[in-house]
Amino acid sequence: MNEELIFSVADNVAVIQVNRPGARNALNWAAQEGFAQAVTAVSADPTLRALIITGSGTQSFVAGGDLKELNNHADAESAQRLYKVMNEALQQLTMLPIPVIGAVNGDAFGGGCEILTACDLRIASENARFSFAQIRNGLTTGWGGTGRLVRLLGQSRAMELLLTGRVFSAAEAQQMGFVHRLTAEPVLAAAQAWAAELVALPRGALAGLKQLVGAAGERPLAEVNALEQQLFAELWPQPDHVEAMQAFVEKRPPVFNRE
């Protein structure tokens, strides 16, 4: 990690915070490497139960790659470096067995929106704005955003957002399903409260459902059904399911994740 990327852990919840508010939290080379290292650290820590990704300040979530730094790197090798680090990091992000919450504290443009497509849940400040602005820089998405956006919103909606690069509000983002929740309070605090709710739920079932939803967007229905039956059977004898049934019989709230 480095000072441009803050990584912290509290109450089994990790936070990755891009810390370049003076540059609209744009990701320079160091911040990209730090982001990738942080995701790897989360993947290697079995005690973590949720991950929050956010930016510093109130103006920007992430403004994509740092164009000022990249301005002098117009060669193909630099392009490969730019998309390789973050593309692989976001792919790893989607494979985490824990819920990943994108906490949008300000504008999410370009690569910032691509990061959000790799999150499972998205909560945004009411004044946040969004734009898949790559077209305005003569580029396509480079961090895997197009494929994930099509799966999130459908081909027609994704086509319009990507071809126009237009700016859309948090309210519209929620209306189209890109954002799940809006908040008037500090977005990191709201995301932490949401994460606490998820931490209280059965860990194995959360991981199984995340795996199922991901498979449903990529694999044939018959394969998804087979995976569902497998996961259901594996979870049935586990302590969390036993606890849920016992709590129902005893008419009390269940207490999960005690194993």
137 and 96 within one domain? yes
- How many structural domains comprise the chain? 2
Q: Are residues 43 and 126 in the same domain?
A: yes
Quote the DSSP letter at residue 64: S
Q: Is residue 255 part of a domain?
A: no
Residues 18 and 71 in one domain: yes
Query: What tokens does 165 get?
Result: 């690069």
Note down pLDDT in tens along the chain; length 259 residues. Answer: 568 999 999 999 999 999 999 999 999 888 999 999 999 999 999 999 999 999 999 999 999 877 776 666 566 676 677 778 999 999 999 999 999 999 999 999 999 999 999 999 999 999 999 999 999 999 999 999 999 999 999 999 999 999 999 999 999 999 999 999 999 999 999 999 999 999 999 999 999 999 999 999 999 999 999 999 999 999 999 999 999 999 999 999 999 998 6
Where do we find the tokens 């709710």?
197
Q: Using alpha carbons only, how large is the chain's radius of gyration in Å?
A: 19
Q: Give domain status of residue 46, yes or no.
A: yes
SS (H, E, C) 170-215: HHHHHHHCCCCEEECCCHHHHHHHHHHHHHCCCHHHHHHHHHHHHH
pTM of the shown model: 0.94
Tell me the HSE value of 190 on the side-chain side, using a 13 A CA sphere.
Answer: 19
- What range defines the domain where residue 214 resides? 203-250
CB of 112 within 8 A of CB of 67?
Answer: no
